[in-house]
């Protein structure tokens, strides 16, 4: 029987096993492959699992591993991280990113596309995925971050002004920005659904919807079967 799992550290309190089990009514086992060492966790995947989800701090090492030894989906290359690794029929491990696939599908469902202005706050893994998805949909995409400024990445101090002209603010930061309290934005999608900073604001979209979309778009890549239950 095929087995699936999650690598990362720490992951003891992950809800991924429960979500995967619900998605497929317990058809396949899904295990937490706990360990601090990426190499050991990756070997356990290769030795005993068909596909895995990947969480921090292993998304970037997994990207590099698959880039050198497997096949990366084209969509993950601008992101530099994967959170799904699958042993495919060609004998190679293929890497995907359901952070990207999930937010891409969610934004489509919400009607964003050409003519929409999307501001992404933060440029870590979730921020990179969100920016790549917004650009894929043809949105005018603006990124705000604390560092690594370029013509395409604006200082975080500009976020309140930029959010005020956005159709959608995608907030991936782990801390609140007080100045945003005075800024009106038609819609706010926050990545962090466990301890959100902006919930209760007008137009707020919970990160739980992004998380659910990750499962719906990502699990079929792992199992070869569409999700069978309402998540």
Q: Which of these is catalytic: 3, 50, 59, 208? A: 59
Instruction: Please state the three-class secondary structure of 22-46 as a single string.
Output: HHCCCCCCEEEEECCCHHHHHHHHH
50 flagged as catalytic: no
Residue with tokens 């060492």: 37
**Which parts of the chain are beta strand (E)?**
4-8, 30-34, 51-54, 71-72, 84-87, 93-96, 117-121, 140-145, 153-155, 168-171, 188-190, 204-205
DSSP 194-221: SS-SSTTSTTEE-HHHHHHHHHHHHHHH
Would you name the residues annotated as active-site residues? 59
């Amino acid at each position: 029987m095929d087995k699936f799992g999650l690598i990362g550290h720490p992951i003891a309190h992950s809800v991924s096993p429960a979500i995967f089990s619900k998605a497929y009514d317990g058809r396949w086992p899904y295990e937490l492959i706990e360990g601090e060492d990426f190499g050991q966790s990756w070997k356990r995947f290769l030795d005993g699992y068909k596909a895995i989800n990947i969480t921090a701090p292993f998304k970037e090492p997994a990207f590099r591993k698959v880039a050198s030894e497997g096949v990366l989906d084209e969509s993950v290359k601008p992101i530099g991280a994967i959170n799904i690794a699958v042993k495919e029929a060609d004998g190679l491990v293929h890497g995907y990113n359901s952070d990207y696939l999930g937010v891409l599908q969610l934004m489509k469902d919400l009607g964003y596309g050409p003519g929409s202005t999307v501001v992404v706050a933060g440029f870590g893994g979730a921020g990179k995925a969100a920016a790549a998805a917004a650009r894929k949909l043809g949105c005018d995409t603006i990124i705000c971050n604390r560092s690594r400024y370029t013509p395409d990445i604006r200082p975080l101090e500009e976020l309140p002004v930029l959010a005020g002209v956005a159709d959608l603010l995608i907030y991936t930061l782990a801390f609140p920005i007080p100045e945003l309290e005075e800024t009106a934005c038609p819609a706010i999608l926050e990545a962090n659904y466990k301890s959100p900073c902006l919930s209760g604001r007008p137009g707020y979209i919970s990160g739980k919807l992004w998380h659910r979309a990750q499962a719906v778009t990502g699990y079929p890549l792992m199992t070869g079967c569409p999700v069978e239950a309402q998540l």
